[in-house]
Structure 1
Amino acid sequence: MPQASTRQDEAHSTPSLAERFKATRHLTEALLQPLSEADATIQSMEDASPAKWHAAHTTWFWETFLLRDHLPDYRLFHEKFPFLFNSYYETEGERISRGQRGLITRPTLAEVLEWRAHVNAAMEPLLEDGDLADLIALGVAHEQQHIELLLTDIKHALSKNPLGPAMWETPTKAVAAQQDGWIEHPGGIARVGHQSDGFSFDNEGPVHRVLMEPFALSRRLVTNGEWAQFIADGGYKDHRLWLSDAWAWLDRRNISAPLYWRDDEHFTHTGWQKRDPDAPVAHISYYEADAFATWAGCRLPSEFEWEAVARGQDKAESQQRFDASAGNQLDQAAPPAPVGTAELFGDVWQFTRSAYLPYPRFQPAPGAVGEYNGKFMAGQWVLKGASCATVRGHSRASYRNFFYPQQRWQFTGLRLAKDV
């Protein structure tokens, strides 16, 4: 699994859209190789989906939005697959309920891989069609998102096995020392949103202006060791630190630590491992991030504050550049794990205090693809950056990830902010 990074080898030329398509499709399939048929089929909770379903759904996307409409005489690989592998596109008709995806024992993983090969071959004549470039770029980004979901969903599923099975035997990378201190920003009027010619999702625009007061953003992420101090200080038992909904959630779910913690261990893609106190904390909810920030005498940054600082690291949106050889690096790369980097990208998604809402003048795209982001703009919170499970080249300063406040199975963490 390639680690996320905003820095790309300048010797690599920017890959073509066809190369990005092929590398992304290969990466999905490479991640399925360590899994058994049972591993690839199980669904451990409604928020997660089986690995096989991710492999099939991303193939359904290409068949539905590209091949069906733009390749003359194309016939569906299987007439029942759209019902099984549509996710939430109401325009595309009825589908199996989300919580039932783990019951899809057929088609087998081998049959899904056969379907993928069929669609890959059928896509060849469309990959050089300039009129379809924007839609193909969306499909590549969509599959990259599902690659990250595949990794986090299978981690959750394997964690439920009392044996603590490992997806990889490779040890994780050594943790790097994070730099202390604060990045101060004078505030003022800033332009936010996607501002380059590269690909972006519709929720990253339109570009607009915001007014910010002076603030500072921590140079580093909150660590496991700091979180242990929060727990030792009674952080999960002090109602004064928690939002009302959060306090009720703690009581209802009996939450007392980040997901995957037990004693001095945590569950990883390499099974149960001793927890490094210097590694960035991960798998926390918005509720927990907000409570910790209050306990630390700080706050969460707004998404605009985070973006204003991150744009200086963005290298003219260089995260857009995709490492087309990533699929060939799986055997050498470490499993995803936060290790502490000198950048704002690549360890954990970072919670902000910004509600996930449309930007001024936002309009969803017409048709089914307009359901991609806009209809989820209620009740969720914006996260920025990228995680160790994010495909290299996928994120950028304007990127807006979003989750409900109680969700924590993703690699989610926090970076503190304060007023100055």
Structure 2
Amino acid sequence: MAQLRPGHALAQRYRRTRQHTLALCEGLSAEDMMVQSMPDASPAKWHLAHTTWFFEQFVLGRDPRYRPRDRAWHYLFNSYYQSVGPMHARPRRGLLSRPTLDEVLAYRRHVDQAVGEALSRDDDDARAALVELGLQHEQQHQELLLTDVLHALWCNPLLPAWREDGAPEPAGETVPLQFLPGAEGVAAIGHAGPGFAFDNETPRHRVMLAPHALANRLVTNAEYAAFVHDGGYREPSLWLSDGWAMVQSQGWQRPLYWQPDLASAFGPGGVRALDPAAPVCHLSYYEAEAFARWAGARLPTEAEWEAAATALPVEGNLLDDVPRPPRAARGSGLLQMYGDVWEWTASPYVAYPGFRPLPGSLGEYNGKFMCGQWVLRGGSCATPRGHVRASYRNFFPPHARWQFAGLRLAQDR
């Protein structure tokens, strides 16, 4: 990272990013922010505290002059860093009524002041790199906060709106589905050059791409509804064995948040009509893979996706102030590669050849999850603008469906 003068761009970005997290919570009550609707989700209050703990632990912890607000909170708000110390069990985060929301907000102010003072004292490239990692971490939690709160409100029988989003946009027109030839032969993927990247995006390496084609756009609500109407959730031959077991045990019949009429879905504005031309979202890997098989296609590999995305500008329906629902594709060529919905790929989340995790406790950030997860690419309408890039590797277990995740089809050639 280039050296930064005190109080310059990094300090400004720190303030903006931290303020944006709080702005995303507008309209939520203290009660809303304490709900944990399932073990995979966390209360909004916990997200506010954990991202603060991250800066306290890894940035301010290097400074012997810093005094933590409350050392007992390290146990409450550590997520999974075993080398740092013990932590409160993840499925029980919703039981943390204390500290209160006001105390957590005061904790954020306490740490923000200390980080601001540290950045104003001197130039320290090592600290600047840690602050940058903390900001990227906070942006990840901004998206998680949005998806976790949405799930919590969906669990309420009243299906309350989080934010009144005004009159829905008129339904879009569906861009005809086309398969566009992808690059073939030797290609390089992974992060290289200046700018931030997580350790799991490195090192850059060569892969061999077989002849293939990518769909020009994401799969739409109307196309997925046809799969449902055709008995997709009742036909075991379309599903991976573990996926069919989930369909049976969980009673899946349609995407998460879709209503029984298959024409409306729950979102931040409450129940709204589905745009048939907009991308389908809130799918698990199992559902995406089953649809691709039903459609006579497959999911792209992450290498195929990245090789196609590298040449494209990072533009699309990404998070600015508030999330906007996934939108219908417009234009020609390869569309919707960034934003709208994360795209499940056919690639398991494993280490790249020559991968080396970050040194010390931060090595636990990504590497230890490289088992039993699948890679998603491209960002979503809840991904902060400027956070995603062509080499970015998101990952979730194959049953996860509460994220803004959908799919793009691919074919062998």
Give the direction of change, closer, same or farther, for the CA distance of 1:209–1:409 in structure 2 (3 Å limit): same
Of the three residues 57, 61, 79, the one matched with 1:68 is: 61
For residues 132 and 408 of structure 2, the distance between their equivalents in structure 1, rounded to whole angstroms, comes to 30
SS at match of 1:82: helix
Of the three residues 142, 146, 155, the one matched with 1:151 is: 146
For residues 36 and 51 of structure 1, the distance between their equivalents in structure 2, rounded to whole angstroms, comes to 10
Per-residue CA shift, 1:327-351, capped at 9, x if unaligned?
xx73xx5x33111344300100000
SS at match of 1:353: strand
Where do 1:3-402 residues align within 5 Å?
16-69=9-62, 71-127=63-119, 128-171=123-166, 173=169, 176-177=172-173, 179-180=175-176, 181-262=178-259, 263=261, 264-314=263-313, 330=321, 333=322, 335-341=323-329, 342-402=335-395
Q: CA deviation at 1:34?
A: 1.1
Q: CA deviation at 1:131?
A: 3.1
- On the 8 A contact 1:281/1:413 being kept in 2, the answer is yes
For residues 276 and 223 of structure 1, the distance between their equivalents in structure 2, rounded to whole angstroms, comes to 9
- On the 8 A contact 2:219/2:409 being kept in 1, the answer is yes
- On the 8 A contact 2:282/2:402 being kept in 1, the answer is yes
Per-residue CA shift, 1:300-328, capped at 9, x if unaligned?
0000000000001147xx99xxx9xx9xx
For residues 77 and 252 of structure 1, the distance between their equivalents in structure 2, rounded to whole angstroms, comes to 45
For residues 356 and 170 of structure 2, the distance between their equivalents in structure 1, rounded to whole angstroms, comes to 44
For residues 126 and 296 of structure 2, the distance between their equivalents in structure 1, rounded to whole angstroms, comes to 52
For residues 56 and 101 of structure 1, the distance between their equivalents in structure 2, rounded to whole angstroms, comes to 11
For residues 16 and 328 of structure 2, the distance between their equivalents in structure 1, rounded to whole angstroms, comes to 27
SS at match of 1:92: coil
Unmatched runs of 5 consecutive residues or more in structure 2: 1-7, 330-334
Q: Which has the higher contact order (CA 8 A, sep 6+)?
A: 1
Per-residue CA shift, 1:202-260, capped at 9, x if unaligned?
00010000001111111110011101100111111111111111111111111110001
For residues 373 and 66 of structure 2, the distance between their equivalents in structure 1, rounded to whole angstroms, comes to 39
* TM-score, normalising length: structure 1: 0.90
Per-residue CA shift, 1:178-210, capped at 9, x if unaligned?
543222124100000012300000000100000
SS at match of 1:352: strand
For residues 324 and 128 of structure 2, the distance between their equivalents in structure 1, rounded to whole angstroms, comes to 30
Q: CA deviation at 1:136?
A: 1.2
- Which residue is equivalent to 1:9? none
Aligned-pair Cα RMSD in Å: 1.8
For residues 337 and 210 of structure 2, the distance between their equivalents in structure 1, rounded to whole angstroms, comes to 21
Percent identical among aligned pairs is: 52
* TM-score, normalising length: structure 2: 0.92
- On the 8 A contact 1:314/1:397 being kept in 2, the answer is no
- On the 8 A contact 1:310/1:397 being kept in 2, the answer is yes
- On the 8 A contact 2:183/2:308 being kept in 1, the answer is no
- Which residue is equivalent to 2:4? none
Q: After alignment, is 235-244 or 295-304 more displaced?
A: 235-244
Unmatched runs of 5 consecutive residues or more in structure 1: 1-14
Q: CA deviation at 1:275?
A: 1.4
For residues 191 and 359 of structure 2, the distance between their equivalents in structure 1, rounded to whole angstroms, comes to 20
Of the three residues 398, 404, 408, the one matched with 1:405 is: 398
